[in-house]
Structure formats: structure tokens, C-alpha cells
């Protein structure tokens, strides 16, 4: 048995393939859009993964440290470390700011990591080049998305940091690359004002008679010293001992330390459900619109392809071809078009669109499978219109 659809496609395969490629680019954009959506959620999840924490202890009644500002005293970790079930507790600070290197600057999330050894909560869990931080000051590990290279000197506030290590996929929930620096430097970076502001603050303090009494020399110096130190961190990352429940430890910290504690699932809920909710919805909306547009275009293409062959179909009918055969031909062609479109779409999305996109595009295999099924379904549905048009054709048109 000869395949009518195959014969027809072969008849004008160039046109068919080009139509498929065009459709493929559209599907590629749709897949990329799904990838962007997944990428946004993945950004939020890797942020949590990379902190390698089981619990986040933050300022009471805040959604910190990612979704809201949170600040707690830097020595809070000691009392948390003493709670039952806590294996490790480490201070951490996060601050999104511009990091300068030479003439350019990059928006990055500065992460202050507590001194210790690799594997401490907050430290980058893996590297792609260089080494981890060994000095307590002025060293940095940067994400490769920032474009920084090993050995480069970064300017953060007034200090210079040498890039000693590079890592990958360490981003903030907004997709900004992370730059890890020692905690004490990060506290300073978070708090330190420019020299002008410091001078003015000193002048203001000196002008305040309460701080600058003639009878108590030294008071002004003490006040200024206390004004220019930062004893706060944004959160304490906690890893718990095996054998303890996450919720149980979280609850005891909440109860006895009167701080807000989030578990991994709660944190994910905050990041995905609150922090990136609007932008994710926006991308989701684009995805829906693109899908509808794609479906309409697929239907339109197949309909046009069928109408272009209307005379041949009339001839087929005239020679007594069964309706089923004609319908099968159109359906098969629609499916073939869908397959080509999907293959081209997947390739273009993976090889061309994802790498050049500024934000992370995560193309999940499951999304591709679902995408494939949706494409097939749309092809089937849109071929129905074409089949109806083909079946309604009068065989007489073949000669008339």
C-alpha cells in the first residue's frame, strides 16, 4: 500500500519542510518561554540548594532574608547552635548591589559567608575553577555569569577583592549572579557609607550637645565608634542533625528564641509563591498566549496546505478514493508537520535560544514531552477543519 500522505509530501517536500521549520521556530519560542518560566523557579530553588541549609532563622515576623530585609544580631548563631538537633549554624548576609571591576559593573548578590571550611552552610557547594576562600578578608568567589575571571580585582564599596574561585548557577532569585565574600567584609559592605556620609555623620554627632559634652571628653569618640560598626547579619543558616525532624527543631527555635524560622518547603513557598509570583505569572500568560497563537497558526497552515491541494483531492474523490483515506492523508500530513515543527523547535530552543537568553532557560524533558503531545493534539484538532473542507469538496471540481 502506498502512503498518499508520503507521496504528497515528497511531491513538494521543500515547501513542506520549510513550512515545518517555520512552525518549528514558533514552537521553539513557545518552548523557550516555558523554559524561562522553569528557569525562574529553578533560580529560586538553586538559591535555596546552594545555601545548603535545612532551616533559615530570620528576624521575627519577616519573610527574610530573600523576600524581605531581615537583620538579627551576629551572635544569635551561638544560642541557636546550642539548641538540640542543630548540627551547624552559620551567619549569612545577602546584599544585591553593583560590583565594579575596572570600567564595568555587574549587578550581583553579595553573599557574606562565615569563616570556616568548605561545606559550611552558605558556602558555594561546588566550584568550576579556582579555590574556595581561605583568607578571612578580601577574597571572593564569583559566579561565572558575572563574567569575572580568576585573579581579577573587584571593588565592593571601598575595598578590593581578588577573585579566587568561580562557580556556576549560583544566582539570586532574580537571576543575579552571586559573589561570595567573607562575612566580616560583607557586614561592612552592607553598612559602610561613603566617606562623605561618614564625615557628615561625625560632624552631626559632634554638633549634638548630648554627645559632645565639655565635661566628658571621650564620649564623642565612643558614640562615633558605636555608630560605625555593624553587629547584624541577615539570617542564620542551620543544618540539623540526622534523627531530628526539621519542623521539630524549627518549632523549638521559634518558641525559645522568639525568632522566625523557615523550613525548606516554607522558603520555597515564599520564593516561588511570593517573590517571583508576578513575574512568573506574566511569563505564564505569555506562554498561554503563544500557545494559542501557535495553535491558530498550525491550523491555518494545515488548512491552507489542504486548500492548495483541493483539485487533487477532487480528483481522488472522482476516482473513488474513500473519505477515510483522504482524511488519513491530511491527518498524517498534519502530524508530520507537527513532528518536524517540534524537532526544529526543540533544537532551536536548546541550541540557539537558550544560550543567548540573558536569563536562565531550563528546558525540562517532561515539558518537552508535554509540549510534543500538545503540538500533536493541536495538529489533530486543526486538521479536522481541513478534513471537513476536503470532504465537502465536489468531485466535479476536478474537471470543472
Partner 1 sequence: MKKLPIQGRTLAMLAVVIPLLALFIYVGLRSGPLAPVAIMLATVESRAVTPALFGIGTLETRYTYKIGPTFAGRVQRLDVQVGDRVKAGQIFGEMDPVDLDDRVRSQNAAFKRAQAVLREAEARQTYAQTQANRYEKLFTARLTSEDIVTTRREELKIAEAGLSAAHEDLARTHADREGMVAQRNSLRLIAPADGVVAERYADPGTTIVAGQTVVEIIDPKSLWINVRFDQISASGLAKGLPARIVLRSRSGQTSQGRVLRVELKADAVTEEMLAKVVFDALPQPLPPIGELAEVTVDLAALPTMPAIPNAAIRRVGGRVGVWQIVNNDLRFTPVTLGAYDLAGFVQVREGLTSGDQVVIYSEKALTSHSRIDVVEKIPGVQQ
* Minimum distance of partner 1 from residue 169's CB (angstroms): 6
Cell of 349: 530552543
Residue 78 or 203 having the CB closest to partner 1? 78
Q: Which of 60, 135, 193, 388 binds partner 1 (CB under 8 A)?
A: 135
Q: Is 239 within 8 Å of 121 (Cβ atoms)?
A: yes
- Cell 578590593 belongs to which residue? 160
Q: Which of 15, 137, 203, 274 binds partner 1 (CB under 8 A)?
A: 137
Residue 13 or 256 having the CB closest to partner 1? 13
**Residue 76: φ, ψ to 5°:** -60, -30
Q: Is 302 within 8 Å of 19 (Cβ atoms)?
A: no
Q: Is 140 helix (H, G, I), strand (E, B) or coil?
A: strand
Contacts of 19 (CB under 8 A, 6+ apart): 301, 305, 337
Beta strands in the chain (DSSP E): 55-58, 72-73, 86-101, 104-113, 129-130, 139-143, 153-156, 159-167, 178-182, 232-233, 235-240, 260-263
102 binds partner 1 (CB under 8 A): no
166 binds partner 1 (CB under 8 A): yes
* Minimum distance of partner 1 from residue 103's CB (angstroms): 17
Stretch in the footprint of partner 1 (CB under 8 A) among 219-227, 236-244, 270-278, 303-311: 236-244
Residue 376 or 389 having the CB closest to partner 1? 376
Run of H or E residues at 111: strand 104-113
* Minimum distance of partner 1 from residue 357's CB (angstroms): 14
157 binds partner 1 (CB under 8 A): no
Residues 82-120 as b or e (16 or more Cβ within 10 Å = b): ebebbebbbbbbbbebebebeeeebebbbbbbbeeeeeb
224 binds partner 1 (CB under 8 A): no
Q: Is 107 within 8 Å of 176 (Cβ atoms)?
A: yes
Q: What is the spatial distance between Cα 29 and Cα 394, in angstroms, rounded to a whole number?
A: 40
Stretch in the footprint of partner 1 (CB under 8 A) among 103-111, 130-138, 264-272, 308-316: 130-138
Contact set for partner 1, span 247-306 (CB under 8 A): none
* Minimum distance of partner 1 from residue 123's CB (angstroms): 9
69 binds partner 1 (CB under 8 A): no
Cell of 306: 489542504
395 binds partner 1 (CB under 8 A): no
Q: Which of 68, 268, 364, 397 binds partner 1 (CB under 8 A)?
A: 364
150 binds partner 1 (CB under 8 A): yes
For 61: left if phi > 0, alpha if psi spans -120 to 50, otherwise beta; the answer is left
Q: Which of 343, 376, 381, 385 binds partner 1 (CB under 8 A)?
A: 343
Number of helices and strands in the chain (H, E): 13, 12
Q: Which of 199, 231, 293, 377 binds partner 1 (CB under 8 A)?
A: 231
365 binds partner 1 (CB under 8 A): yes
Q: What is the spatial distance between Cα 72 and Cα 91, in angstroms, rounded to a whole number?
A: 10
> How many residues in the shown chain lie near partner 1 by CB under 8 A?
55
52 binds partner 1 (CB under 8 A): yes
State the DSSP code for 169: S
* Minimum distance of partner 1 from residue 295's CB (angstroms): 22
Contact set for partner 1, span 171-210 (CB under 8 A): 184
**CA of 294: how far to CAs of 4, 303, 305, in Å?**
27, 14, 16
* Minimum distance of partner 1 from residue 156's CB (angstroms): 15
Find the DSSP H helices in 237-322: 246-257, 264-270, 277-308, 310-318
The CB density around residue 77, as the number of other CB atoms within 10 Å, is 23
Q: Which of 208, 227, 241, 323 binds partner 1 (CB under 8 A)?
A: 241
Q: What is the spatial distance between Cα 203 and Cα 339, in angstroms, rounded to a whole number?
A: 73
126 binds partner 1 (CB under 8 A): yes
Contact set for partner 1, span 320-339 (CB under 8 A): none
Site of interaction with partner 1 (CB under 8 A): 10, 13, 17, 49, 52, 75, 87, 115-119, 125-132, 134-138, 144, 147, 149-150, 164-166, 168-169, 184, 214-215, 217, 231, 239, 241-242, 340, 343-344, 346-347, 350-351, 354, 362-365, 368
Amino acid at each position: 500500500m502506498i502512503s498518499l500522505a508520503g507521496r504528497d509530501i515528497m511531491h513538494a517536500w521543500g515547501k513542506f519542510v520549510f513550512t515545518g521549520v517555520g512552525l518549528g521556530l514558533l514552537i521553539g519560542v513557545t518552548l523557550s518561554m516555558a523554559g524561562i518560566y522553569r528557569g525562574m523557579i529553578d533560580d529560586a530553588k538553586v538559591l535555596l540548594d546552594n545555601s545548603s541549609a535545612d532551616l533559615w532563622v530570620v528576624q521575627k515576623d519577616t519573610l527574610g532574608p530573600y523576600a524581605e530585609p531581615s537583620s538579627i544580631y551576629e551572635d544569635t548563631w551561638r544560642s541557636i547552635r546550642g539548641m538540640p538537633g542543630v548540627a551547624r549554624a552559620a551567619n549569612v548576609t545577602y546584599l544585591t548591589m553593583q560590583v565594579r571591576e575596572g570600567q564595568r559593573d555587574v549587578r550581583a548578590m553579595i553573599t557574606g559567608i562565615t569563616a570556616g571550611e568548605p561545606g559550611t552552610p552558605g558556602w558555594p557547594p561546588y566550584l568550576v575553577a579556582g579555590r574556595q576562600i581561605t583568607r578571612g578578608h578580601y577574597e571572593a568567589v564569583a559566579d561565572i555569569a558575572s563574567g569575572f575571571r580568576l585573579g581579577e580585582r573587584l571593588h565592593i564599596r571601598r575595598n578590593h577583592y581578588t577573585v579566587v574561585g568561580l562557580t556556576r548557577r549560583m544566582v539570586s532569585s532574580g537571576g543575579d549572579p552571586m559573589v561570595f565574600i567573607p562575612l566580616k567584609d560583607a557586614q561592612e559592605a552592607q553598612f559602610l557609607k561613603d566617606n562623605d556620609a561618614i564625615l557628615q555623620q561625625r560632624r552631626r554627632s559632634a554638633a549634638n550637645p548630648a554627645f559632645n559634652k565639655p565635661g566628658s571628653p571621650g564620649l564623642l569618640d565612643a558614640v562615633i565608634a558605636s555608630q560605625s560598626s555593624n553587629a547584624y547579619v541577615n539570617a542564620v543558616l542551620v543544618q540539623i542533625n540526622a534523627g531530628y525532624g526539621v519542623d521539630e527543631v524549627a518549632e523549638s527555635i521559634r518558641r525559645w528564641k522568639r525568632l522566625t524560622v523557615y523550613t525548606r518547603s516554607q522558603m520555597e513557598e515564599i520564593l516561588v509563591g511570593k517573590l517571583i509570583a508576578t513575574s512568573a505569572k506574566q511569563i505564564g500568560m505569555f506562554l498561554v498566549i503563544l500557545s494559542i497563537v501557535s495553535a491558530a497558526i498550525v491550523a491555518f497552515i494545515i488548512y491552507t496546505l489542504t486548500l492548495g491541494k483541493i483539485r487533487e483531492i477532487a480528483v481522488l474523490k472522482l476516482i473513488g478514493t474513500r473519505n477515510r483515506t483522504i482524511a488519513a492523508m491530511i491527518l498524517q500530513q498534519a502530524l508530520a508537520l507537527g513532528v518536524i515543527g517540534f524537532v526544529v523547535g526543540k533544537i532551536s530552543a536548546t541550541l540557539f535560544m537558550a544560550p543567548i537568553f540573558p536569563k536562565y532557560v531550563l528546558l525540562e524533558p517532561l515539558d518537552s514531552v508535554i509540549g510534543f503531545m500538545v503540538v500533536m493534539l493541536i495538529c489533530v484538532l486543526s486538521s479536522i477543519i481541513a478534513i471537513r473542507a476536503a470532504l465537502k469538496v465536489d468531485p466535479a471540481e476536478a474537471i470543472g
